[in-house]
Amino acid sequence: MNSSIDLVTVAQLLINGTLLGGLYALIAFGLSVVYGVANILNFAHGTMLAIAAISGAVLYEKFGLPIPVILIILVSFGFVFGWIFYLTLLQPLEKREPHQRTVGMVLVAVGALIIMGDVTAVLAGAEQRVIRVSSTYFEIRGVIISGTQIGILVGAAVCMIALHIFLTRSWTGSSIRAVAQNTIGATICGIDSARTSATTFALGAGIVAVAGLMYIISYPLNPYSGFPLTVKAFSIILLGGIGNLTGTLLAGLALGIGEAVVAFTIGPQWAAAVSILIVLGCLLLFPGLTTSRREA
């Protein structure tokens, strides 16, 4: 390693980390909303993102559709897919006793992620894909920033804030939060909890589609790179707290910057280990992290 790490490099690292971290935060927020409401830790979250992203790349390369059209297609497809997926595969498991429910949820999600990855690899190829869009670059005192990436960061922030406002201000949002906090209580008040959970799951899938498209515009993905993203999102939730917008954002940025620093100082192949070590480290240092919310 270079012995004198200058200020420009540090600034560049921070900026790259921030740009990636903002995207991580959006991915994690989607996972967190679904977990908070439907009480499902969706193991297939990142894989759904990778599949959406690759579909987007195929639509872009093969059919030459403009990005906004692709976005609309992906989001609507993601929403419908999420809705059907929840109602046919996950909702029926709610009737089981807790242990069997957990096992069922884990198996369905893990099975789905393996199927999705494999089928996509067969249909679209297992290779890395990325959408290349022309971008303007800004240079401030030697630090290079891509216009596209700034656009993506702003987009991620807008999505998260919009989602937050939707959850806190709208009636559907209120019912989602009601179900998250007390399912039985919400049901007594006349909220259809199955429908609310389905809406949330579909919403999560919609967010994943947006995040996937943003992701593949700046970073390459293949059908199997989804699971590491789920791990990252999970580590962010652990750090930032479930359903906590500010916490998720900060934790996302911390992970993005942490990965950039590790990639630079130790080597890029180790960046993926950061999130897993965060998960294990958090558990070791803060035993109360997951028990504080709800008992198993």
Q: State in angstroms the smallest separation of the CB of 221 from other proteins.
A: 15
Nearer to other proteins, 88 or 172 (CB): 88
**Stretch of 4-12, 48-56, 60-68, 89-97 lying at the interface with other proteins (CB under 8 A):** 89-97
Of the pair 171, 184, the CB lying nearest other proteins is at 184
CB of 75 to other proteins, least distance (A): 25
The CB-of-237 to other proteins minimum distance in angstroms stands at 10
> Between 5 and 122, whose beta carbon lies closer to other proteins?
122
Using the minimum distance from each CB to other proteins, give the nearer residue, 173 or 220.
Answer: 220
Place of tokens 């059908």: 223
Strands 143-146 and 137-140, sheet pairing: antiparallel
Size of the site for other proteins (CB under 8 A): 50
Question: By CB under 8 A, what part of segment 166-205 binds other proteins?
Answer: none
State whether residue 27 is helix, strand or coil: helix
Positive or negative, the CA dihedral 62, 64, 65, 70 is positive
* Region 213-252 residues binding other proteins, contact defined as CB under 8 A: 224, 227-228, 231, 234
* Contact between residue 220 and residue 207 where contact means Cβ atoms under 8 Å apart: no
Q: Which residue is listed with tokens 């109602």?
A: 87
114 belongs to the binding site for other proteins (CB under 8 A): yes
> Angle formed by the axes of helices 98-124 and 226-240, to 10°?
140
Of the pair 148, 200, the CB lying nearest other proteins is at: 200
The CB-of-259 to other proteins minimum distance in angstroms stands at: 13
Q: DSSP letters along 97-158, please? A: -HHHHHHHHHHHHHHHHHHHHHHHHHHH-SS-B-------EEEETTEEEEHHHHHHHHHHHH
State yes or no: residue 43 binds other proteins (CB under 8 A): yes
58 within 8 A of 123, measured Cβ to Cβ? no
The H helix count followed by the E strand count for the chain is 11, 2
Please say which residue, 60 or 227, places its beta carbon nearer to other proteins: 227
C-alpha torsion angle, residues 4, 8, 11, 15 (rounded to 10): -120
With H, G, I as helix, E, B as strand and everything else as coil, classify residue 221: strand
Nearest 5 degrees, angle CA 199-CA 200-CA 203? 85
| Closer Cβ to other proteins, 43 or 79, answer by number | 43
Q: If binding is defined by CB under 8 A, does position 41 make contact with other proteins?
A: yes
- Does the protein bind other proteins through residue 117 (CB under 8 A)? yes
3-class SS letters over 229-256 = HHHHHHHHHHHHCCCCHHHHHHHHHHHH
User: Does residue number 31 form part of the binding site for other proteins (CB under 8 A)?
Assistant: no
x/- track of binding to other proteins for residues 94-113 (CB under 8 A):
--xxxxx-xxxxxxx-xxxx
Q: Which tokens in the block code for residue 204? A: 């999560």
**String marking each residue 250-279 x if it binds other proteins according to CB under 8 A:** -----------------x-xx-xx--xx-x
Q: Does residue 122 belong to the site contacting other proteins (CB under 8 A)?
A: yes
Cβ–Cβ under 8 Å, residues 45 and 237: no
Chain residues in the site for other proteins (CB under 8 A) = 40-41, 43, 89, 92-93, 96-100, 102-108, 110-115, 117-119, 122, 224, 227-228, 231, 234, 267, 269-270, 272-273, 276-277, 279-281, 283-284, 287, 290-291, 295-296
